Structure 1
């Protein structure tokens, strides 16, 4: 009984084995994040630039008559080019994300990427969708004017439904998926940093 009163709990606590985070696993997750982000960036670039080229080809080949069609084409291409330009500013951040050996630097770079992604997912995505929707609606006006009221309504209805579906369903899912990935990495690096500082 008397011996139990002299147990040093702090000493016992220090001696217990603590599972250290697996840095190799964490760095592998970081590398996978980087590869996925770069693949997404390049796919977005190729898709939007190819779409812009197709729109320009349609403009040249079909020679639209209404000024609204031409303004719609310009607005649509402008929306895509501005979005690609801002999105490409993440390229150097993605490339440099695993070029350091310091946990704190990893953490700072991930936080910077998260801030830039949030700007892209909120302000830039809003700009993109508003200008793109306006451009498409103006573009379709010339062709809708040749249709009956029911045909024009159906054409605009389907187009606007698709835009709204993207905005309210697909976009939030994609944003949440991206945020979850980067939040998970940031959380793991914060955990490692706090354990190393103890």
Structure 2
């Protein structure tokens, strides 16, 4: 009985190495890249929808103060410039195919990873600063029309939302995306190695 227990313990400690073919790994990696492309496209669509909504607000509502117009222009410029950066990054991961040019594709993913890091660090702070200025200029006209409680609520919600997006949300998204792209690069490099040196 003791020999059986030792055999069972040895069996449980034994790790089985699962071999995945290059084709299976390629299909899985391509699926993840397609998910990345879809997320990128949805970000662009969301930014364009925001741009159109704010532009429509500016066109169809009458604002008396010049500060509100300045605030809205700041919003539109910030959203448009961020959309252009997002579109550039989307084209970067969409333009090349791993099966046609493996090295170019892996290089594109590495550049995309660096661009995303830059976006979540430098560009994000410029975007947040621009939005904050936009809110300040817009609030100059809007806040006097609100009650004292409504003013505190509007300013408080705006500040809490900006701080939440700038700290917790930004770090979580940046960490998850950095890990996801790093894993993709590693998978494609492994696939490339398996293709170039077949067993």
Correspondence 1:1-198 to 2 at 5 A: 22-101=21-100, 103-191=102-190
In angstroms, what is the RMSD of aligned CA positions? Answer: 2.5
5+ residue gaps, structure 2, are 1-16
Output the CA distance in 1 between the equivalents of 2:101 and 2:61. Answer: 57
In 2, Cα distance between equivalents of 1:22 and 1:127: 45
Q: Is the 8 A contact 1:137 1:156 kept in 2?
A: no
> Conserved in 2, the CA contact under 8 Å of 1:107 and 1:186?
yes
Counting matched residue pairs gives: 181
Contact 1:34/1:97 (8 A) holds in 2: no
**Contact (CA 8 Å) 2:29, 2:187: kept in 1 or not?**
no
The alignment's TM-score, normalised by the length of structure 1, stands at 0.79
| Offset, 1:100 | 3.8
Q: Report if the CA contact (8 A) 1:31-1:98 is conserved.
A: no
For 1:188 and 1:48, the matched residues in 2 are separated by: 31
Deviation at 1:97, TM superposition (A): 4.3
CA distance in 2, matches of 1:22, 1:102: 20
Gaps of 5+ in 1: 1-17
Pairwise CA distance, 1:34: 2.3
